[in-house]
């Protein structure tokens, strides 16, 4: 499934055809010498065709061949092709096929064939992109014909044959509104580029001399470098201040995909080692019911500036977070954080908890958030199936704020698996660890997404869509997923993951909902995209913000002596 989306970002850049509307970095002053454009991102993908005889990632190969995967993949590529139409004039293409028909066949090649892409910094106010893809003569001719028509429709002029380069091809000159594009062929490689002639010549010369634009992959299937510091205005939706450089590799090992990512930061990280404070007396494993567990430490500095903490006015957020879930009931998902004076903190932030709800949840039919006097906890009552709650607990490991969507199972003496605890303790630089049985979590996340759409008065996605049927089919073919992040130096972190699709259950569900949303391919970071725009009918009064009931009268918890 991951191969579906490898070329999406890069084909979108090709479709823009050098559009000058958004610059990644400022152009140099006229009097200053023009520096060589910086490389912002590169990728190399070996192509699905080369992996035909490879026996690694066996579970991915099985899922890839499923009829539900084929249908979902084809519908996804068709949606991407249709989205390309926004880069073309509203009126003006007389062709019988149109932009989506020109682009759609090329997307299949981006999945099947080996390709290399390079994004460079601003030249005359526009970023430039180069794509090199290895094709046979028949597919190369299709690319030439279809891109010729696409370039003609976008630029409003007919491409002309190239005579100043040693390779066969054509070009469309840049205009005041759009950038130029060149199509070139060198041996078995097709090169599509908006880059200056010198950059093109270097790449073509390398292909002519060595037969390829980049050395053949020997230990990876996909490799990419991203200078996110130079792409900050494209990633502004992410809550990140210290953007890193990232080097990512993906390869198959055994039945799993392995993802390795190294993040290099311009500024030293604020992360400091602190011993784990695992709530082992809260997280239990009755009847081996645990299906996921995650732990993070050194996160206080990251949480402090998030919108959630700012709305809660929580000045000293927790430095460690723990998440876990259990099967049998799809809503048994919980979280805990070590918090000094947890009862006092809960009383301070509880009046501001409703501010975290979005407008879709501000509905009188959705109950109210209130205190339960007997248990000293805050509960959201009146929702179907779930009872979100937040409570303080004092255990031998310390004081915690514990949240959940469903009442926890009865307390037992069943401890956390020793293997999980050992995974956290084997490296003192581990800052994040996550384990899950992905097919179990996939079921839970689908249930939670469906419930959200109902509570938010939105129509949930139809079960007959290609994406939803794919989720059903794949849900019985996914095993363990393990993710680990370590701080390897003051300026570097390493991310490692091993799983069948290189995605967690949440990521699989979110990706599917995004693809089937009404805004695709826009808003990729929207947590609950609208898949069916028609709201459910509900006879209620106009929406109002649910208020939290006042806390019960109680004696204040004494502060510790300093």
User: Tell me: the pLDDT tens digits for 223-263?
Assistant: 999 887 766 665 555 556 667 889 999 999 999 999 999 99
Structure-model confidence comparison of residues 20 and 275, the more confident one? 275
> Locate tokens 């200053």: which residue?
32
pLDDT in tens, 200-222: 778 888 898 999 999 999 999 99
Nearest to 218 by CA among 50, 61, 59, 55: 50
Res. 125: pLDDT tops 70: no
C-alpha 307/C-alpha 297 separation (Å) is 19
Segment 418-431 mean pLDDT: 88
- The overall average pLDDT reported for the chain is 81
Provide, rounded to the nearest whole percent, the portion of the chain with pLDDT above 90: 46
Could you tell me which residues come within 8 angstroms of residue 299 by beta carbon, excluding any fewer than 6 positions away? 317, 318, 319, 320, 321
pLDDT in tens, 441-454: 999 999 999 898 88
Quickly list H helices, 8-98: 8-16, 58-64, 67-83
> Locate tokens 């979280």: which residue?
335
Confidence of residue 2 (pLDDT cuts 50, 70, 90): very low
Res. 470: pLDDT tops 70: yes
SS3 content of the chain, % helix, strand, coil (to 5): 30, 25, 40
Q: Which of 3-17, 103-117, 180-194, 295-309 has the largest mean confidence?
A: 103-117
Structure-model confidence comparison of residues 11 and 202, the more confident one? 202
C-alpha 207/C-alpha 187 separation (Å) is 8
Number of H helices, E strands in the chain: 13, 22
Segment 109-131 mean pLDDT: 85
Backbone angles phi, psi at 386, to 5 degrees: -120, 160
Res. 11: pLDDT tops 50: no
C-alpha 393/C-alpha 279 separation (Å) is 10
Provide, rounded to the nearest whole percent, the portion of the chain with pLDDT above 70: 78
CA angle, 229 then 233 then 234, to 5°: 95
Res. 122: pLDDT tops 50: yes
Res. 32: pLDDT tops 70: no
Coil, strand or helix at 261: strand
- Torsion sign across C-alpha atoms 488, 493, 499, 504: positive
Nearest to 511 by CA among 529, 486, 487, 538: 529
Res. 555: pLDDT tops 60: no
Confidence of residue 46 (pLDDT cuts 50, 70, 90): very high
**pLDDT reported for residue 551:** 39
C-alpha 90/C-alpha 98 separation (Å) is 11
């Amino acid at each position: 499934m991951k191969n579906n989306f490898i070329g999406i970002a890069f084909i979108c850049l090709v479709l823009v055809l050098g559009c000058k509307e958004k610059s990644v970095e400022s152009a140099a002053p006229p009097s200053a010498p023009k520096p060589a454009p910086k490389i912002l991102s590169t990728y190399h993908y070996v192509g699905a065709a080369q992996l035909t005889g490879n026996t690694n990632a066996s579970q991915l190969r099985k899922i890839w061949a499923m009829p539900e995967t084929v249908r979902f993949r084809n519908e996804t590529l068709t949606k991407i092709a249709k989205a390309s139409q926004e880069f073309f004039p509203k009126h003006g293409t007389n062709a019988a096929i149109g932009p989506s028909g020109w682009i759609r066949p090329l997307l299949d090649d981006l999945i099947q064939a080996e390709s290399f892409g390079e994004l460079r910094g601003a030249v005359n106010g526009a970023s430039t992109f180069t794509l090199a893809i290895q094709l046979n003569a028949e597919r190369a001719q299709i690319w030439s014909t279809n891109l010729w028509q696409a370039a003609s429709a976008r630029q409003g002029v007919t491409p002309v044959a190239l005579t100043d380069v040693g390779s066969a091809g054509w070009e469309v000159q840049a205009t005041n509104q759009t950038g130029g594009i060149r199509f070139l062929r060198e041996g078995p490689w097709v090169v599509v580029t908006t880059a200056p002639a010198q950059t093109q010549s270097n790449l073509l010369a390398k292909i002519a001399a060595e037969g390829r634009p980049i050395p053949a992959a020997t230990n990876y299937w996909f490799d990419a470098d991203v200078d996110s510091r130079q792409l900050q205005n494209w990633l502004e939706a992410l809550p990140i201040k210290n953007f890193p450089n990232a080097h990512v590799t993906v390869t198959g090992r055994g039945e799993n995909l392995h993802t390795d990512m190294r993040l290099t930061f311009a500024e030293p990280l604020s992360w400091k080692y602190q011993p784990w404070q695992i709530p082992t007396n809260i997280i239990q494993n009755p009847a081996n019911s645990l299906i996921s567990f995650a732990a993070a430490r050194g996160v206080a500095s990251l949480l402090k500036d998030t919108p959630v903490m700012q709305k809660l006015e929580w000045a000293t957020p927790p430095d460690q977070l723990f998440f876990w879930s259990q099967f049998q009931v799809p809503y048994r998902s919980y979280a805990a954080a070590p918090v000094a004076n947890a009862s006092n903190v809960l009383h301070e932030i509880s009046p501001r908890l409703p501010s975290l709800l979005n407008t879709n949840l501000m509905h009188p039919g959705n109950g109210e958030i209130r205190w339960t006097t007997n248990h000293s906890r805050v509960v959201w009552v009146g929702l179907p199936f779930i009872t979100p709650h937040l409570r303080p607990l004092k255990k031998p490991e310390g004081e915690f704020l514990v949240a959940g969507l469903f009442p926890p199972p009865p307390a037992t003496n069943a401890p956390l698996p020793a293997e999980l605890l050992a995974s956290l303790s084997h490296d003192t630089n581990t800052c994040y660890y996550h384990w899950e049985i992905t097919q179990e979590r996939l079921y839970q996340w689908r249930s939670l997404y469906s419930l959200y759409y109902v509570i938010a008065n939105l129509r949930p996605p139809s079960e007959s869509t290609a994406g939803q049927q794919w989720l059903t089919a794949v849900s019985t073919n996914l095993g363990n997923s393990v993710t680990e992040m370590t701080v390897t130096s003051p300026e570097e972190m390493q991310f490692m993951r091993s799983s069948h699709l290189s995605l967690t259950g949440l990521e699989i569900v979110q990706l599917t909902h995004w693809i089937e949303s009404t805004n695709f391919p826009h808003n990729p970071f929207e947590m609950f995209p609208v898949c069916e725009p028609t709201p459910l009918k509900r006879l209620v009064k106009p929406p109002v913000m649910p208020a939290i009931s006042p806390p019960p009268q109680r004696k204040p918890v004494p502060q510790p002596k300093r």
